[in-house]
């Protein structure tokens, strides 16, 4: 023991001052030597090692304690490349010993040894060595790339020869090695010329070049052409980090470049996140100098001035003191009798300001010289043309060229510096101009005319062309600073952004209304990636990101309409708005050092507090408390009235996330914050205690949340998704969407995400086919999601519901006339096995649409119709039938098809209708479409529900179905309806098959309680080869009365339906009586009813699979049948209606 202590001390003294990596390397070599000695290795290696370390081996470390060398990990290409980048980064930091240890353990070097030699050769300017290495890789890279790299090295070699005066070597290089290709001819000629110049001057020239030479640029050039697995680009990790930060900035919905620096260190540890303090959402100044409405505001190109004008005809110019405040600069009075200033434009040097008077009376363009400020005499504006022009814009290029136009056909370019302001030589006549923008090239003008077009006019070549055509009148427009996109404010379609290069629509911004007043929208922010505009109805300033449809910010403060908004081009954190309340508001960020509280800041502070408490989580798990919403009483901005979550009241690391409606004033940034919060940290468990059918049971789970999404990783790496179905203390029951086959309880990892199941939705889902989980299966390109919505939807507030009105036309007479379906109604089809309910569903999809009245002109809203079709538990043949039928008849482009096959997992069948309805809600409430949802077969859904209930060992209800099936079905059916403030609607037609034709079965029985009627498919009619076999007697549409009548279908619709129903019912009774007493005992009236019965089923109910009847055609067929009876027998139709339609020459007969 004494010897061991002594050796240990000596070792410590010997290694003092060495780095940890050096000591670890020596320790590993020492251990390796002991392994060789103890294992009896070859004499060449083992003997010297043993003799050297023998004393230490006997005294310090027993042979039994020597650990064998660890086996190197098996790395894939991605992991190897990651290690290579890490090695390079550590080596660039000077941590060479650490790199060697990492390379020794992983077996992965950052570069090929030849690449290391190549770098060293370039650094030491050994150009011959570098050429030899490059030539060694000639066969492994592109010949042109090899030639380019070789030429760069040869030129460096010739520079070296020029400096030492070795002209003979330069000549040899040019004759034998330098390529003679045309692309290098100029460079070759340059070096040949140098051979003939004065040697001293040439030497001095190249010596100066050598001092200024940047060999990093040469290295970067070589790295660009050589394969990365041979030579890694310098600073690769820094490049990746910078790219990551740029991506974070793009993904941050509130980033305007204020308060953050490129590559800031904290963004390595946490994603970049801007709060309200970094975004211009606070009113920092209110200007009340205007006595009348403010119609237009405009910042100067330099960003140091703001011009404002309005109804009074007085123009104010303000100086930008700082990003939060304006200072009065000057006031200009136009003495002519005008009705206001509607447009402003600055010259490129910010010296001149063009003001356009409205066209109502005495229009004209007035030029103000802003740089001339006089305290004594007011500056008189210069008027261009008498009673001519109302809009104008300066070219951004140098010079004071101005283009003017108006709605009377005047359109000219004027040079303001000319004395006479002549405009005769530069006219485009006959174009009624509403707005115009001049481009940077100094000759091209974009102008909006009265024909809803944006056209390009070249005033030099006198050439014009149409770029964009809108379907609605254009109010005004503007372009971004790169002149790539055009922002158009339309009267009916809102704000739309078009690409000027491709002439295509890029984005439609939702939420803003512009129908009665002129509202000027603008670009803003870094790279003009924000859009700001006012709203006609809400008096709000709304801000969008150009990549998003929905607003990210609502700014309240104005009391009347906002007419104009402009973003400062110099200070990205400053924008202004002018309103009918006679004020100008300056919106900016919170001043530096401000102590103002912000809801999002409070939220982030709460998150930080929560993270500090994670260490105490185990101790506090039995003291679980609820998170209660708290109102902030600050009124500085609308966001201060939002709900925030005080994390100090709850030690939980997860909260159940909820869908947040941006229309409630909660920004998209807060949505992202809350979502990130709820999913961190993700908890992973290996505590699967059992697998029962489609369910996985986990034990010892900390605070599982109901409906929480769970990711399961199987032993082979396969990933599956599930949802928490039941929570009992620390036990969770998870339903696996892809099924439980192959799940091993011991080797399955379950990750609780803390989030709910959300479905990606987009308008591009129309025309696509998805499986029951919402994944595309039509081999088409992936659908880019516009939003991710909770598949369970949001309950519709009864106060916000609108009573279903107007009719959905199916093209089937028995439905359209006798059981009309209203928009927003839920009405099932009761069928049975062997009946053609699939054919009826396909026919409804083919022919479904909105009613088009013959006396009403076609409206654009008549085409806003879409169908979401979800098939559950169908076989391959049925799925193929639906797919081929929709594609062959052309209806697929208007259909979103979900297919859950019979061999798909049972659990998937439960989420299929919910995913389909989520897509329908997006199309209806966000895209403003009238959506018809067809769900078939709900009996398969109920059977899946029963299977899951049995696996959970729940107490069964009627016929084994779960007792909560009524509630579960209601969560699906009640998602149909219409919502106040939305133009779209959701109409549901669930199809279910009644076992044994039993209408009292729990599935149709409970469905009938929830829905608003039923359509009954009759087996007897089917057996008599009548298609569609719809029995109108047990069928019923409870909302039919609100869907039909004058203005929606026809004024006789209700009366005809009632009379047909009565006659058919009596005919059925007569048919039954005939079977008892015989036809001879029937009265003449009875015979008429019997005749009607036969013709009604043959001509009215029966129709071809591809026969599409309009509701008006069906009503006319009904009148043909009613004419079987004398007029006095039609007791359910008013005399006035009979006078119009009953006669052979009546309205119904004329339309036949």
Mean pLDDT computed over 165-174: 86
* Strands 719-728 and 688-692, bridge-based pairing: unpaired
Does pLDDT of 613 surpass 60? Answer: no
Are residues 1017 and 1103 located together in one domain of the fold? no
Q: In which region does residue 452 sit, left (phi positive, over 0), alpha (psi from -120 to 50) or beta (all else)?
A: left
- Among 588, 617, 637, the domain-final residue is 588
CATH number of the structural domain spanning residue 747: 2.40.30.20
- Ranking 35-39, 680-684, 867-871 by mean pLDDT, the lowest is 35-39
Single pTM value for the model: 0.46
Q: Is residue 855 part of a domain?
A: yes
Does pLDDT of 663 surpass 50? Answer: no
- Ranking 415-419, 615-619, 1111-1115 by mean pLDDT, the lowest is 615-619
Q: Is residue 401 part of a domain?
A: yes
pLDDT of residue 57: 37
Are residues 382 and 425 located together in one domain of the fold? yes
Cis omega (within 30 of 0) for bond into 789 = no
Tally Cβ neighbours within 10 Å of residue 224: 13
* Rounded Cα distance, 532 and 524, in Å: 7
Mean pLDDT computed over 1029-1038: 95
Domain with 747 in it: 683-756
Are residues 903 and 956 located together in one domain of the fold? yes
- Among 588, 614, 631, the domain-final residue is 588
Closest among 600, 563, 573 to 284, alpha carbons compared = 573
Assess contact for 647 and 607: CB atoms under 8 A.
yes
Closest among 1138, 1094, 1098 to 1119, alpha carbons compared = 1138
Does pLDDT of 33 surpass 70? Answer: no
* Rounded Cα distance, 468 and 408, in Å: 21
Q: Could you report the per-residue pLDDT of 59-108, keeping only the tens digit for each?
A: 344 444 555 666 777 888 788 888 888 888 888 888 888 878 888 888 77
pLDDT of residue 462: 85
Mean pLDDT computed over 769-781: 89
Q: Does residue 652 or residue 1139 have the better pLDDT?
A: 1139
Q: Is residue 952 part of a domain?
A: yes
Mean of pLDDT over the chain: 80
* Rounded Cα distance, 928 and 926, in Å: 6
Are residues 1119 and 984 located together in one domain of the fold? no
Are residues 569 and 700 located together in one domain of the fold? no
Are residues 841 and 774 located together in one domain of the fold? yes
Q: Where are the alpha helices (DSSP H) in 370-452?
A: none
Closest among 338, 378, 335, 372 to 356, alpha carbons compared = 338
Closest among 236, 146, 161, 230 to 199, alpha carbons compared = 161
Tokens of 827: 């009405």
pLDDT of residue 1018: 94
* Rounded Cα distance, 194 and 209, in Å: 14
Q: Is residue 770 part of a domain?
A: yes
First vs last C-alpha separation in the chain: 117
Closest among 455, 457, 382, 378 to 415, alpha carbons compared = 382
* Rounded Cα distance, 107 and 86, in Å: 13
Residue 1035: band (very low, low, confident or very high) from pLDDT cuts 50, 70, 90:
very high
Could you please report the per-residue DSSP string of 186-244? HHHHHHHHHHHS-HHHHHHHHHHHHHH--HHHHHHHHHHHS-TTTSPPTTHHHHHHHHH
pLDDT of residue 905: 82
Q: Is residue 580 part of a domain?
A: yes
Mean pLDDT computed over 207-232: 73
- Among 65, 83, 100, the domain-final residue is 65
Residue 23: band (very low, low, confident or very high) from pLDDT cuts 50, 70, 90:
low
Mean pLDDT computed over 728-742: 82
Between the ranges 39-48, 266-275, 355-364, 520-529, where is the mean pLDDT highest? 520-529
* Rounded Cα distance, 273 and 608, in Å: 14
* CA 648 to the chain's CA centroid: 34
CATH number of the structural domain spanning residue 1008: 3.40.50.12240
Domain count, the chain: 6
Are residues 891 and 791 located together in one domain of the fold? yes
Q: Where are the alpha helices (DSSP H) in 785-865?
A: 813-816, 837-847
Are residues 117 and 223 located together in one domain of the fold? yes
CATH number of the structural domain spanning residue 544: 2.130.10.10
Q: Is residue 250 part of a domain?
A: no
Helix 43-59 / helix 2-15 crossing angle, nearest 10 deg: 110
Q: Which residue has the tokens 């997006």?
A: 922
Are residues 960 and 1100 located together in one domain of the fold? no
Question: H/E element holding 575?
Answer: strand 574-579
Mean pLDDT computed over 725-739: 82
Assess contact for 434 and 450: CB atoms under 8 A.
yes
Are residues 1033 and 1092 located together in one domain of the fold? no
- Ranking 235-239, 457-461, 470-474, 723-727 by mean pLDDT, the lowest is 235-239
Does pLDDT of 993 surpass 80? Answer: yes
Between the ranges 588-592, 615-619, 772-776, 1111-1115, where is the mean pLDDT highest? 1111-1115
Does pLDDT of 647 surpass 70? Answer: no
Q: What percent of the chain has pLDDT over 90?
A: 32
Mean pLDDT computed over 1047-1070: 94
Does pLDDT of 763 surpass 60? Answer: yes
Q: Could you report the per-residue pLDDT of 1118-1137, keeping only the tens digit for each?
A: 999 999 999 999 999 999 99
Q: Is residue 106 part of a domain?
A: no
Does pLDDT of 532 surpass 90? Answer: yes
- Ranking 103-112, 704-713, 1063-1072 by mean pLDDT, the lowest is 103-112
Q: Which residue has the tokens 């020029």?
A: 162
Its sign, for the CA torsion 190, 192, 196, 201, is positive
- Ranking 133-142, 153-162, 428-437 by mean pLDDT, the lowest is 133-142
Q: Is residue 603 part of a domain?
A: no
pLDDT of residue 420: 58
Are residues 805 and 694 located together in one domain of the fold? no
Does pLDDT of 826 surpass 90? Answer: yes
* Rounded Cα distance, 748 and 744, in Å: 6
Q: Could you report the per-residue pLDDT of 461-476, keeping only the tens digit for each?
A: 888 899 999 988 899 9
Are residues 738 and 779 located together in one domain of the fold? no
Q: Any residues with CB less than 8 A from the CB of 320 and at least 6 apart, and which?
A: 299, 303, 304, 305, 306, 326, 327, 568, 570, 571, 574
- Ranking 312-326, 563-577, 637-651, 706-720 by mean pLDDT, the lowest is 637-651
Residue 624: band (very low, low, confident or very high) from pLDDT cuts 50, 70, 90:
very low
């Amino acid at each position: 023991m004494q010897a061991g202590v002594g050796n240990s001390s000596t070792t410590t003294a010997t290694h003092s001052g060495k780095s940890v990596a050096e000591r670890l390397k020596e320790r590993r070599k020492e251990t390796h030597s002991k392994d060789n000695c103890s294992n009896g290795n070859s004499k060449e290696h083992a003997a010297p090692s043993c003799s050297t370390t023998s004393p230490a081996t006997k005294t310090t470390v027993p042979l039994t304690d020597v650990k064998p060398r660890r086996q190197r990990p098996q790395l894939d290409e991605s992991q190897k490349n990651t290690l290579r980048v890490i090695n390079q980064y550590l080596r660039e930091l000077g941590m060479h010993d650490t790199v060697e240890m990492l390379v020794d353990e992983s077996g992965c070097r950052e570069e090929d040894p030849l690449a290391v030699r190549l770098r060293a050769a370039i650094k030491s300017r050994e150009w011959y060595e570098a050429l030899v290495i490059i030539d060694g890789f000639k066969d492994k890279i592109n010949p042109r790339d090899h030639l380019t790299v070789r030429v760069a090295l040869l030129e460096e070699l010739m520079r070296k020869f020029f400096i030492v005066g070795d002209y003979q070597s330069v000549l040899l290089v040019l004759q034998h090695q330098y390529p003679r290709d045309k692309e290098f001819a100029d460079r070759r000629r340059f070096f040949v010329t140098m051979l003939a110049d004065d040697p001293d001057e040439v030497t001095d020239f190249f010596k100066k070049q050598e001092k200024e030479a940047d060999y990093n640029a040469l290295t970067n050039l070589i790295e660009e052409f050589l394969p990365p697995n041979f030579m890694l680009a310098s600073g690769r990790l820094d490049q990746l980090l910078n790219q990551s930060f740029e991506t974070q900035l793009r993904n941050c919905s509130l980033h305007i470049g204020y308060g953050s620096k490129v590559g800031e260190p904290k963004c390595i540890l946490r994603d970049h996140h801007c709060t309200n303090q970094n975004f211009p959402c606070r009113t920092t100044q209110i200007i009340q100098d205007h006595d009348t409405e403010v119609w237009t505001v405009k910042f100067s190109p330099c960003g140091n001035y703001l011009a404002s004008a309005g109804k009074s005809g007085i123009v104010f110019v303000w100086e930008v003191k700082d990003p939060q405040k304006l200072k009065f600069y000057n006031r200009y009075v136009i003495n002519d009798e005008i009705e206001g200033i509607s447009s402003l434009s600055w010259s490129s040097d910010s010296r001149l300001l063009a003001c356009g008077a409205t066209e109502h009376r005495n229009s004209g363009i007035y030029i103000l010289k802003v740089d001339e400020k006089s305290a004594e005499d007011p500056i008189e504006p210069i008027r261009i043309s008498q009673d001519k022009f109302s809009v104008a814009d300066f070219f951004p290029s140098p010079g004071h060229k101005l283009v003017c136009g108006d709605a009377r056909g005047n359109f000219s370019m004027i040079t303001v510096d000319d004395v006479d302001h002549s405009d005769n030589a530069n006219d485009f006549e006959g174009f009624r101009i509403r707005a115009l923008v001049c481009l940077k090239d100094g000759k091209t003008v974009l102008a909006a005319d009265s024909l809803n077009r944006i056209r390009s006019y070249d005033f030099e070549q006198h050439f014009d062309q149409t770029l964009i055509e809108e379907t609605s009148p254009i109010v005004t427009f503007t372009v971004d600073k790169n002149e790539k996109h055009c922002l158009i404010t339309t009267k009916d379609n809102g704000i739309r952004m078009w690409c000027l290069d491709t002439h295509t629509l890029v984005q439609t911004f939702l939420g803003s209304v512009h129908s009665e007043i002129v509202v000027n929208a603008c670009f803003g922010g870094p790279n003009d990636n924000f859009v700001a505009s006012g709203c006609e109805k809400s008096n709000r300033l709304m801000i969008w990101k150009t990549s998003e449809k929905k607003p990210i910010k609502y700014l309240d403060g104005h009391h009347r309409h906002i007419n104009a908004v402009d973003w400062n081009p110099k200070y990205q954190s400053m924008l202004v708005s002018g309103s009918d309340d006679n004020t100008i508001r300056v919106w900016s960020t919170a001043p530096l050092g401000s102590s103002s509280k912000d809801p999002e800041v409070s939220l982030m502070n709460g998150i930080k507090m929560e993270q500090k408490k994670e260490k105490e989580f185990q101790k506090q798990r039995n003291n679980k408390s609820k998170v209660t919403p708290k109102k902030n009483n600050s009124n500085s901005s609308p966001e201060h009235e939002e709900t925030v979550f005080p994390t100090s009241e709850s030690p939980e690391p997860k909260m159940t996330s909820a869908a947040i409606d941006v229309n409630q004033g909660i920004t998209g940034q807060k949505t992202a914050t809350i979502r990130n919060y709820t999913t961190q940290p993700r908890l992973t468990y290996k505590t699967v205690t059992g697998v029962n059918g489609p369910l996985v049971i986990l034990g010892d789970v900390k605070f599982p949340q109901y409906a929480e999404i769970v990711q399961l990783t199987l032993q082979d790496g396969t990933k599956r998704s599930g949802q928490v179905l039941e929570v009992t203390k620390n036990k969770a029951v998870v339903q696996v969407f892809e099924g439980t086959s192959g799940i091993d309880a011991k080797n399955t990892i379950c990750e609780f995400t803390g989030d709910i199941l959300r479905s990606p939705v987009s308008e591009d889902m129309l025309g696509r086919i998805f499986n029951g989980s919402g994944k595309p299966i039509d081999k088409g390109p992936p659908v880019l999601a516009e939003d991710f919505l909770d598949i369970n939807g949001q309950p519709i507030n009864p106060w916000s519901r609108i009573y279903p009105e107007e009719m959905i036309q199916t093209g089937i007479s028995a439905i359209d006339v006798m059981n009309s379906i209203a928009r927003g109604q839920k009405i099932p089809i009761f069928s049975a096995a062997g009946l053609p309910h699939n054919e009826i569903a396909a026919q409804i999809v083919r022919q479904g649409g909105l009613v088009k009245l013959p006396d009403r002109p076609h409206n654009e809203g008549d085409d806003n119709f879409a169908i979401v079709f979800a098939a559950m538990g169908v076989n391959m043949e049925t799925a193929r039938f639906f797919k081929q039928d929709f594609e062959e008849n052309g209806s697929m482009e208007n259909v979103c098809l979900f297919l859950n096959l019979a061999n798909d997992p049972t659990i998937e069948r439960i989420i299929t209708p919910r995913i389909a309805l989520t897509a329908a809600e997006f199309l209806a409430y966000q895209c403003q479409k009238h959506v018809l949802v067809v769900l078939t077969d709900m009996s398969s859904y109920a059977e899946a529900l029963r299977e899951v209930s049995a696996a959970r060992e729940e107490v069964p209800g009627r016929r084994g179905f779960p007792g909560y099936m009524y509630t579960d079905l209601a969560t699906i059916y009640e998602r149909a309806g219409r919502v106040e403030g939305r133009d779209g609607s959701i109409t549901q037609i669930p199809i279910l098959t009644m076992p044994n034709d039993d209408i009292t079965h729990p599935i149709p029985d409970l469905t009938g309680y929830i829905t608003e009627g039923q359509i009954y498919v009759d087996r007897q009619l089917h057996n008599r080869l009548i298609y569609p076999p719809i029995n109108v007697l047990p069928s019923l549409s409870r909302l039919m009365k609100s869907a039909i009548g004058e203005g929606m279908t026809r004024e006789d619709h209700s009366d005809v339906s009632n009379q047909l129903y009565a006659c058919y019912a009596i005919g059925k009774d007569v048919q039954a009586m005939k079977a008892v007493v015989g036809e001879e005992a029937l009265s003449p009236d009875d015979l008429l009813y019997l005749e009607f019965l036969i013709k009604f089923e043959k001509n009215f109910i029966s129709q071809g699979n591809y026969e599409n009847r309009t509701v008006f055609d069906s009503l006319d067929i009904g009148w043909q049948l009613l004419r079987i009876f004398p007029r006095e027998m039609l007791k359910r139709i008013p005399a006035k209606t009979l006078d119009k339609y009953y006669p052979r020459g009546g309205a119904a007969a004329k339309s036949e």
